Every structure is written in structure tokens, then in C-alpha cells.
């Protein structure tokens, strides 16, 4: 009822489409408020379920949960998320700052240091996924075997998503830990995904999710994330002298500045520009 309320409120305020009925085949979820579960610091009991839930904890928490949500995903896995107020201690300040650019061969190009390789989980699992999908397509609708094949496909999807998420969390935590200011282009995705050839590689990386994680982790740990307008010409500017090139086709990986003669790696130069621009914006707003 509460979710329906939220959905209709959003609909009448014209933020969202009219709520639709959910499919029984999609992800299922149920939320339990304070009076519908019991937590004694060790065991969790849901209303009308006698035994405590058998949970494999991904992390522990302190404090008093205000709600508990149980989900069943399409791969047939149950997850439980617990809403709890937690005070996160900010990290001690550091001097370092960084600009990050999204490359094609590598996921993340920091303005200083080594590029972080794109693990390409999707590519690795793509073959297996394709086989599973082909098998699924051959199964008769409504049959038991079709359900089995569907589960197989869902499990591969889930595995890809889990690995990607884990990798991204480790990366964003590291970036936030090591740097006081992180500068990144805001949603370069929008412009780039229009290019179909690049679209898959970028989805593989999850730029939007990366920015989302950097943003809340920065808040938690007392760091600053500066987002730069996606139209900032990070690739076209020479970081050494500021000269602006008219064109910078994607095929150009290295180039020499005609004005100052500096030789640039395309992505690293862009990352440095992003960092300088971010630090400039930060000074202006301070
Ligand atoms: Zn130059």
C-alpha cells in the first residue's frame, strides 16, 4: 500500500508514469515495518514465520533496524536488506586529488597512475549466456524444461551483475579513500551510448552506477565529488598549454599539440583536464 501510495503520488505530480501491475515472474519483494519483524541483535524473525531466518550475512550491522525488505530475484535467490541508521566516520583528510576519464580499452583512466582495466565480465560470460539463451528459445512455452532453462539464463545474468557490482564497489571505495577530491564527467554515458558500437562496452562498465557510488561514498567519508559538464571538451584541450583542437576523432589514441609540441595519450590528457576543471570549479564555488 505504501509503495502504491508513493507511485500514485509520483504519477499525479507528473514525475512518473501511471503505476502498472507487476508480473509474478519478475523480481518479488516484500517490506516489513518495525511491528512485523523481530531483531534481537543476532536473529531475525519475520511475522508469521516461526523460525528465525537462516541468513548468510554479507556484512554485520549495529543498531535498531527500522524496516526489512525481502526480495526474490529472477535467479531464484532470496535477499534481505535491512534499513538501519548508522553513523559513518569520515576518513582523515588527504592531499591527493584525481580526475577520471572513461576510456574504451580501459575502464577508468585516472589523471595520475595506471589505468584500471575493464574486467569485461560480460564479454567473458557472453558465450555461455548465448548458448543458454538459444536453449531457452527452443523450449515449449509453459513447460517445466523452459522454466529450468529460464533459471539458467537468469543465473548467468545474476553472476555477471554480481561480479560487476563487487568490482565497482572496490574501485569506488579505493578512489574515495585515496583522494580528497574526485573529478569526473557527469553522465558521459548519455552522449556516448548513442554510438551503438560503444554502447555495450559502456554498459559493461556502468558509468552511471560508478558516479552514484562515488557520490554517496564521498558524502560518507568527507570527500568531494565534482561532476563536470558532459560538454566540457576534455579530449580536445592540450593539458600542457590549453590549446584547443577543432577535432579529436575517437580513433586518435595519441596526439601531438601543434602549439606546444607536447605528446599526449588521449585518455590520460582528458583525465588531467577533467581534474583541473574540477578543481577550478571547486575554487569558484568556494
Ligand atoms: Zn599544447
| Length of the chain, in residues | 286
The confidence score (pLDDT) of residue 62 equals 86
Residue 126, pLDDT score: 83
Mean pLDDT of 175-199: 72
Return the percentage of the chain with pLDDT > 70, whole number.
90
Query: Where are the domains positioned within the chain?
Result: 2-83, 97-118+173-285
**203, burial (CB in 10 Å: exposed 0-12, middle 13-18, buried 19+):** middle
Decide which of 134 and 164 is more confident: 134
Q: Evaluate if residue 186 carries a pLDDT over 80.
A: no
End-to-end CA distance of the chain: 44
**Mean pLDDT along residues 26-54:** 91
Residue with the bigger pLDDT between 55 and 166: it is: 55
In angstroms, what is the span from residue 261 Cα to ligand 1's centroid?
6
pLDDT band at 25 (very low <50, low <70, confident <90, very high): confident
- Dist. CA 184–CA 224, nearest whole Å: 11
- Can you tell me the distance from the alpha carbon of 95 to that of 25, in angstroms, rounded to the nearest whole number? 50
Q: Are 158 and 74 in contact (CB under 8 A)?
A: yes
Q: What is the per-residue DSSP string for 100-152?
A: EEE-SSSSEEESSSPPBPP--HHHHHHHHHHHHHHHHHHSPTT-HHHHHHHHH
Q: CA 121, CA 3: separation in Å to the nearest integer?
A: 34
- Please say if the pLDDT value at position 190 is more than 50: no
> Per-residue pLDDT for 248 more than 80?
yes
Residue 250 has pLDDT above 90, yes or no: no
Cα 183 to averaged position of ligand 1 atoms, centre (Å) = 22
pLDDT at 221 over 50: yes
Q: Quick: pLDDT tens for 113-141.
A: 888 876 766 677 888 999 999 999 999 99
Mean residue pLDDT across the chain: 87
Burial 230-257, CB ≥16 within 10 A → b, else e: eebebbbbbbeeeeeeeebeeeeeebeb
Helices (H) and strands (E) in the chain, counts: 7, 11
* Model pLDDT, residue 74: 86
Just list the catalytic residues: 101, 185, 267
Q: State residue 83's pLDDT score.
A: 95
Alpha-carbon span 278 to 218, nearest angstrom: 15
Query: pTM of the full predicted structure?
Result: 0.78
Q: What is the pLDDT of residue 249?
A: 85
Of residues 215, 150, 145, 141, the one with CA closest to residue 184: 215
Across the beta sheet with 108-110, what order do the strands follow? 108-110, 97-102, 181-185, 224-228
Proportion of the chain above pLDDT 90, given as a percent? 53
Q: How far is the CA of 239 from the centre of ligand 1 (A)?
A: 7
Q: What's the whole-number mean pLDDT along residues 162-168?
A: 83
Task: Indicate the helix (H) or strand (E) that contains 172.
Answer: helix 144-178
Q: Is pLDDT of 206 > 90?
A: no
**What's the 107 CA to ligand 1 centre distance in angstroms?**
26
Angle (CA) 77-78-82 rounded to 5° is 145
For residue 110, how far is its CA from the centre of ligand 1 (angstroms)? 20
**Is a pLDDT exceeding 80 seen at residue 201?**
no
Q: Which residues contact 229 (CB under 8 A, 6 or more apart)?
A: 185, 186
β-partners of residue 46 are 37
Amino acid at each position: 500500500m505504501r509503495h502504491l501510495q508513493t507511485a500514485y503520488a509520483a504519477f499525479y505530480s507528473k514525475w512518473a508514469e501511471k503505476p502498472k501491475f507487476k508480473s509474478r515472474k519478475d523480481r518479488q519483494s516484500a517490506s516489513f515495518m518495525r511491528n512485523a519483524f523481530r531483531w534481537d541483535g543476532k536473529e531475525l524473525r519475520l511475522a508469521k514465520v516461526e523460525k528465525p531466518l537462516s541468513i548468510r550475512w554479507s556484512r554485520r550491522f549495529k543498531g535498531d533496524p527500522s524496516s526489512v525488505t525481502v526480495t526474490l530475484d529472477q535467479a531464484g535467490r532470496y535477499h534481505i536488506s535491512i534499513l538501519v541508521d548508522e553513523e559513518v566516520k569520515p576518513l582523515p583528510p588527504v592531499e591527493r586529488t584525481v580526475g577520471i576519464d572513461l576510456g574504451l580499452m580501459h575502464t577508468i583512466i585516472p589523471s595520475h597512475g595506471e589505468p584500471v582495466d575493464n574486467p569485461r565480465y560480460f564479454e567473458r560470460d557472453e558465450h555461455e549466456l548465448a548458448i543458454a539463451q538459444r536453449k531457452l528459445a527452443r523450449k515449449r512455452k509453459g513447460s517445466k524444461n523452459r522454466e529450468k532453462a529460464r533459471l539458467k539464463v537468469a543465473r548467468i545474468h545474476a553472476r555477471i551483475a554480481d561480479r560487476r557490482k563487487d568490482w565497482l564497489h572496490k574501485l569506488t571505495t579505493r578512489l574515495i579513500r585515496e583522494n580528497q577530491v574526485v573529478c569526473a564527467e557527469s553522465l558521459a554515458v548519455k552522449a556516448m551510448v548513442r554510438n551503438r558500437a560503444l554502447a555495450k562496452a559502456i554498459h559493461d562498465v556502468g558509468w552511471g552506477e560508478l558516479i552514484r557510488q562515488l557520490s554517496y561514498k564521498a558524502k560518507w567519508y568527507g570527500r568531494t565529488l565534482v561532476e563536470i559538464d558532459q560538454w566540457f571538451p576534455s579530449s580536445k584541450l592540450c593539458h600542457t598549454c590549453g590549446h584547443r583542437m577543432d577535432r579529436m576523432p575517437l580513433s586518435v589514441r595519441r596526439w601531438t599539440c601543434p602549439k606546444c609540441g607536447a605528446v599526449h595519450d588521449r585518455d590520460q590528457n582528458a583525465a588531467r583536464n577533467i581534474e583541473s576543471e574540477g578543481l577550478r570549479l571547486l575554487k569558484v564555488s568556494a
